[in-house]
Amino acid sequence: MSHARHVVLNVNVLNLGIHTGSWQRSSEPPTAFADPNYYVRMARLAERGALDALFLADGPALRDHPALRPSQALEPSVILASVAAETEHLGVIGTLSSTFNDPVELAARLLSLDILSGGRFAWNVVTTYSPAAGGNFGLADYPDRSTRYRRAAEFVDVVLALWRDAGTGRGVDHRGEFFTVVGSLALGPSPQGHPLLVQAGGSPQGRDLAGRVADAVFSAELDLGAGIEHYRYVKDAAQAHGRGRADVKILPGLITTIGSSRAEAERRYDEQNALLPENHDLERLSQVLGEDLAALPLDEPVPDRLLGDVADPAKFAASLGFRESVVRLIESGGLTLRQAVREFSGAGHRVVVGSPVDVADTIERWFLAGAADGFNLMPDVFPDGLEVFVDEVVPILRARGLFRTHYAESTLRERFTGTATPTERRVLAGT
């Protein structure tokens, strides 16, 4: 099977599952999210299915009240060091914010992890849109979107410059808007040259950053048409920056609730939702759309005034990418508020509730239609939500010629890009 025909499949290990009530249904103890061995167990399960990578999110602030859901508490690069040491092939992808880190320290920490893993690490770059995180870092005035993305672009360029310089003795001399860096890391290159870059963010600035530097994009499109548009947009941006369209992989999030039949999966889904406080998902949708929806009638269409363009994108507190995806889904389906809440499912990514064949059909349809190069899988509950994917969905994808039977590459770069060494990316002035 040619490299180009492999669907990319990462598993996003969020708490004990993407569903808020997952900790009440998992066979793992509710505090497993604070145990490095829990992530090692999930990684070994993913490696059993020859999945591409284990993906960790990060939020440098408390999101959910602990009484609602015990929250991920361990810093991602620490967890991934444990995972890398206990696996042979599985890639490890960590989310770290450009807003709340220093580029020199982060470049050294992540290159160290890449070397430790034998060239299996990727950094998911985010700018962090949570004002609560700003409070944790003493920011009285949270930077607006434009400032965060300008800082992120320069931050990435500094990190790339330090990684490319590692072991050469040349040194970096960067003097920009946000950073002045003169010197070198006390590290050599990793087996894959340096870590891969993943970008998560659907704003125009985020998509441009992805086109310029990313090896992969974690996207949030909810319907096929939007997926195709986003796929073309980012690939076009990569081409505009002198890169190949295949240089950046588009990986939407895919939430799965799997049963032996569609009816069984629906029962599982309804049982999970019964564990949630009343209006939980409605409150989450309110956060995404930027307005309290509690007073609106559930069985009438979502008002047009909530679906138009954001008046001032620079001051919009939530994710523009999530909002755009949800608005597109509501408008294309003419959804009532109740239907929108169910489709949104409190998480902002495409949801498949069905049999293993249903899940495989969605993956194949998006892949062949040019809407995705693969997916970041988000099982409802760990470990059984991942087990059923590995044991029942992966064999279907293999039978259809869409997924590998074994690992053939030694580094994550070779697996994602088909090349052993990094290609040059266009950097901003000042680097």
C-alpha distances (whole Å) from 341 to each of 22, 143, 180, 294, 314 are 19, 30, 46, 12, 26
Dump the DSSP string for 175-193.
E-SS-EEEE--S---BTTB
Question: Cis omega (within 30 of 0) on the bond before 383?
Answer: yes
Strands 8-12 and 53-56: parallel
Rounded CA separation 189/413 (Å): 14
End-to-end CA distance of the chain: 40
Rounded CA separation 119/329 (Å): 38
Number of Cα atoms under 13 Å in the Cβ half of residue 427: 17
- Give the DSSP H or E segment for 357: helix 356-368
Alpha helices in 194-297 (DSSP H): 204-213, 224-240, 262-273, 280-289
Residue 149 annotated as lining a ligand binding site: yes
Spatial contact of 347 and 380, defined as CB atoms under 8 Å apart: no
Rg (CA), the chain: 21
Rounded CA separation 274/281 (Å): 12
Residue 233 annotated as lining a ligand binding site: no
Helix %, strand %, coil % of the chain (to 5): 45, 15, 40
Sign of CA dihedral 18, 23, 27, 28: positive
Sign of CA dihedral 239, 242, 245, 251: negative
Enter the tokens of residue 142. Answer: 């949270």
Residue 260 annotated as lining a ligand binding site: no
Spatial contact of 218 and 376, defined as CB atoms under 8 Å apart: yes
Residue type, 302: V
Residue 355 annotated as lining a ligand binding site: no
C-alpha distances (whole Å) from 154 to each of 128, 145, 261 are 16, 14, 49
Spatial contact of 90 and 47, defined as CB atoms under 8 Å apart: yes
Please give the annotated binding residues for FMN, written as ranges. 58, 95, 149, 203
Instruction: Provide the annotated binding site.
Output: 58, 95, 149, 203
